[in-house]
Structure formats: C-alpha cells, structure tokens
Amino acid sequence: MAENTDFKQEKRKQERDRRQQEQEEAIKREERRRRRVRNQILAYVGTALSILIIIGVAVGAAALIGSHFKNRGQEENSFTGDLESMLGEEETLVKPEETAPAVELTPQQRLDDIIDAAIEVMPLEDKVAGLFIVTPESITGVNTAIKAGDGTKDALNAYAVGGLIYFKQNMQSADQLTEMLSNTSLYSRYPLFLAVDEEGGNVSRVAEAGLGENAGSAQEIGATGDAANAYAAGQNIAGYLKPLGFNVDLAPVADLNNVENSFIGERSYGADSALAASMVASMTAGLEENGVSACLKHFPGIGGSVEDTHVEMAVTNRTAEQFRAEEFPVFAAGIEAGADFVMVSHVSAPALTGDNTPCSISSVVVSDILREELGFDGVIITDAMNMGAITEYYQADEAAIMALKAGCDMILMPDDFELAYNGVLQAVQDGTISEERINDSLRRIYRIKYADKLPDVVEGE
C-alpha cells in the first residue's frame, strides 16, 4: 500500500515537473518572439544598419524598407517614416506560436518599443545634438535666416539639433515662412521642434510680423476674470501657428505678478494664484487641443523678482512656503491641462536652493521639485542660455552640462552652440554624464514628437 502511494506521489511530481518545464518553454518562446519583434523594429528604423531578415517575411520586409528609402526625400524625414504602418507590421509579421500565450502590448508600450529602438540606433553625436533648440543662424552661420536651402541642409546634417526657434526677423511673409519651415523639416534626418515665443501682447513674434492676430496680453485677459478668454487666446494662436509650420509655442506665462515693479509685468495673468491657475490651464488647453505644444514658463516663478535675467543675476526672495502655496499651483494647473514642456528660469531662489544658483542648473528645483514633487513627466527645457544671468558666470559648455546634470532635457539657445554641443558630447564620452541619462531625455522628447504621428497610440490610453 505504501509502495502504491509512493508511486502515485512520484507520478504527480513528474507531472508537475513536466508542466513546469512546459511553462518555462512557453516563457522562453514568448521571449524569443518579443526579441524578433524588436529586431524587426530596429531593422525598419535603422537607416545606418543592415536590414535583418526575420522569420519568413524577408521578401516583404525588403520591399517595405526599399520603398521607404526610395521615397525618403519626399517624406517629412527619414527617421519617423510611416510609423503607423510599422505598428501594423508588428502585428502581422510575427504570429505567436500556438502553444505560447499571446501577450498583447498596450498602445503606449508599442510606442515606447519604437522609441527605444529608434534611440538605440542613433549615433551618440545625434543624440547629444537632439537635446538642443537653437536659432537657425547659430548652425548655418548666416546673419538672418529667411529661407532654408543647401546651407540649412548641410547644417542639419552636421548638427542634428532637436529643434529650431524663430524670431520676427526670420518672418517676411506667410508664404516665405511656411516654405522655410517646411524645407527645414524635410532636410532634417529626425523630426524637429519648430518653436516660437507667441504669448500674446508684447511677446508675439508672428503677430508682430503681421502674420497673425495678436491675442492680447495675459494681463488684459486676466483682468476679464473669464478663463474662456484664455482658452480662446490659445486657440487663436494655435490657429495661425500650426498652418505656418510651428509645433511648439513657448507660452503661456505661469508667473505671478506679485511684487511691486515685478519684471514679468503685463506678461502675467496677475497676482491671484487661483485666477492665474485657471487662465494658464485654459490657454494651455487652447494650444494643445489645437495641435501646438504649450510650454509653461518660467518655473519656479520669476514674478517675485525685479531684476531681468536677460542682463543680470535675478533673485527672488519668495519663501518656500509662498512658492508652494501660490506659484506652484499655477504650474500644476498647466501640467494637469496637458502642457508638453515646462521652461525653468535662471532666477535665483535661495529659499528653494539654499544659495544663488540659477534654478535652471539646480537639481533641487529641476529634479526634486518639478520632476518629483510636481510630478511633471514631460520635457523640461532651460530658458535661453545666452542670457546674462548665465553668461556672466558660466561658459556655454559648463552651463549646458550643469543643466543636464540638474535634470533638464533640452538646452535652449546656448551662447555658443558649438562649444556647448562639444562640451556635452565630451561629458558623455568621458562618463561625466551617462548615455542612459541622455536616452531618458530623448524618450521624453520623442513621445512628444511622435504624438502627432500616432494619435491613436498616444491618445488611446
């Protein structure tokens, strides 16, 4: 009897072992399947790598990739290609083995897989350049850029910057501006941020050039007390920026005008935190919902300073408690409304940082407060790095490295782009900044850049 019991136990043990072995084999098969999917994505986006022939679809894959590169000059750029098509191929090229359970990726997981694969094949030089938004003049060497020709093409081949910012002097007519921005996008190997300062009121580059209707200053809109007017301003601005080719507006201003002779002046919605929060959220929505990325500025708030960071060090004496009670809720409202960017100011806020370090290069402000405390997971960009508050104390390369180490994702308008670029590149090469740190910023950047390419993926979550 005991022998019979031992025999049954042994049989049950063998059966458990067999099932466990089958489960392990199924897991291994699924891992192999996911690796094959990833290799296909790498093959599709890798413009500089050999095409991997996966499973039984070599002929179809070669035809697809050959067609993509044949039409490269006619596409917006070679990096994005037809991403929706790629997602479709991911589903059809490889079917799960019948014995292995199918693993359904969420749209966000599929998008992240594509982004990771794209970043993996980028040369380090392009990764670093992709962290900068600069003027077209800074990479082409011309005095005033009013068209995009061979000089722009050569410049973008040499420096694959993440974006370009334009000012009134670059704008002569709607046709001229549209053609320049369109050609610039075509000449880039990667998708570009095409940015402008269009707040309304005195800071309205496109409206000042006569190519759009000025939406009015934040002060004027705030005085109405109706947040619907702020939404209408954002909608109006996006309505003329997007057809011209812009996809980023460095607005709205989320600063409070809360001290006498505040530097921010009419660019602010006022001193009342609750009112400003509703206005900022509404204008952000007006921009984002109409196809233009909004950028909240200037974190953590420069309204409490009377100095101008464009020309000198500026200090705010606001306490940490005041910031958290008044300024931060305004930025939080804009973040909640969907702002893709937050710009960090060069103002010094000793109550937050403990010294006069500009906030744009302070890890306390950028990483501890904005990223962690406020939970912002979009792109953090510096204010223009050619301002006196930076250039009087730091070299262009030093400031760029410090900003990235603090947690910023993008550097805006360094005083000397080549010096800043080469400095960051060297910092990554020698380990001062890890390549994975650069990749983290690129992931956040490309989630925005791909959003308009794959609305069903990004907005479907």
Is residue 347 located within the same domain as residue 448? yes
Catalytic annotation present for 298: no
Is residue 93 located within the same domain as residue 153? no
Q: Is the dihedral of CA 300, 306, 309, 313 positive or negative?
A: negative
What per-residue confidence (pLDDT) applies to 106? 79
Range of the domain at 313: 125-458
Is residue 254 located within the same domain as residue 400? yes
Is residue 57 located within the same domain as residue 138? no
Phi and psi at residue 188, to the nearest 5°:
-85, 140
What per-residue confidence (pLDDT) applies to 258? 92
Residue with tokens 């390549």: 435
Final residue in a domain of this structure, among 68, 100, 120: 120
What per-residue confidence (pLDDT) applies to 47? 43
Give the SS3 label for residue 197: coil
Mean pLDDT by 10 residues, the chain (461 residues): 47 55 54 54 47 40 41 46 48 51 74 89 98 98 97 97 98 98 97 98 97 97 98 98 98 96 95 98 98 98 91 92 98 98 98 97 98 98 97 97 98 98 98 97 96 54 45
What per-residue confidence (pLDDT) applies to 308? 84
What per-residue confidence (pLDDT) applies to 453? 62
| Domain CATH code at residue 200 | 3.20.20.300
Active-site choice (82, 226, 310, 368): 310
Is residue 252 located within the same domain as residue 111? no
Is residue 17 located within the same domain as residue 166? no
Catalytic annotation present for 310: yes
Phi and psi at residue 203, to the nearest 5°:
-110, 85
Is residue 313 located within the same domain as residue 268? yes
Q: Domain total for the chain?
A: 2
What per-residue confidence (pLDDT) applies to 10? 57
Active-site choice (383, 397, 409, 415): 383
Residue 86: closest CA among 120, 50, 38, 126: 38
Instruction: Please state at what angle helix 83-93 crosses helix 2-45, rounded to 10 degrees.
Output: 150
Is residue 146 located within the same domain as residue 79? no
Final residue in a domain of this structure, among 120, 144, 173: 120
Residue 361: closest CA among 346, 376, 375, 351: 346
What per-residue confidence (pLDDT) applies to 105? 77
Is residue 431 located within the same domain as residue 312? yes
Is residue 112 located within the same domain as residue 146? no
CA distances from 363 to 162, 281, 407, 421 (A): 23, 26, 6, 21
The pTM score is: 0.79
Is residue 91 located within the same domain as residue 156? no
What per-residue confidence (pLDDT) applies to 67? 44
Final residue in a domain of this structure, among 85, 120, 155: 120
Q: Are 255 and 267 in contact (CB under 8 A)?
A: yes
Is residue 142 located within the same domain as residue 116? no
